[in-house]
Amino acid sequence: MREQKKYKDQMNELKYQMSDEALQQMPEFQGRIDVLKVIHYIDSDLVVQLKGRVACEMNSGEELISTECLFENQLDDLEPEEAVAIMSAFVFVFQQRNTSEPSLTPKLAEAKKKQSD
């Protein structure tokens, strides 16, 4: 009885993998894999690299951008307070209503511009 259920579950899983729904998601998945390879988060064998491990530890919602910021040394020319301000931008989500754009120091404005590029 147990073995019969096991085979039935395996059969259902295989049916799903062959279904249109599963196949429609494959191009998007493959596209994401290709991007991760290009930016060296994984290698050609799909093994996670250092940048990928760092991104996994980020909990900002902008893991790729904040990881690139660190690996490209974009914080080197900033004062500690400015570096903290940039990194906190990855955590803090602006409320669109009743908020205005904060005034930025020249270094912060340049760092923000680098992030946009």
Report the distance separating Cα 108 and Cα 82, nearest Å: 6
Ranges of residues in the chain whose predicted pLDDT is under 50: 94-97
Is 8 a member of any domain?
no
Is 72 a member of any domain?
yes
Q: How many separate domains does the chain show?
A: 1
In this prediction, residue 94 carries a pLDDT of 45
Helices and strands in the chain: count of H runs, count of E runs = 6, 0
Is 98 a member of any domain?
yes
Q: For the purposes of burial, counting CB atoms within 10 Å of the CB of 107, is it exposed (0-12), middle (13-18) or buried (19 or more)?
A: middle
For the segment 11-33, what is each residue's pLDDT rounded down to a tens digit?
888 887 777 777 778 888 899 99
Is 111 a member of any domain?
yes
Is 29 a member of any domain?
no
Domain that holds residue 88: 58-117
Is 110 a member of any domain?
yes
In this prediction, residue 37 carries a pLDDT of 97
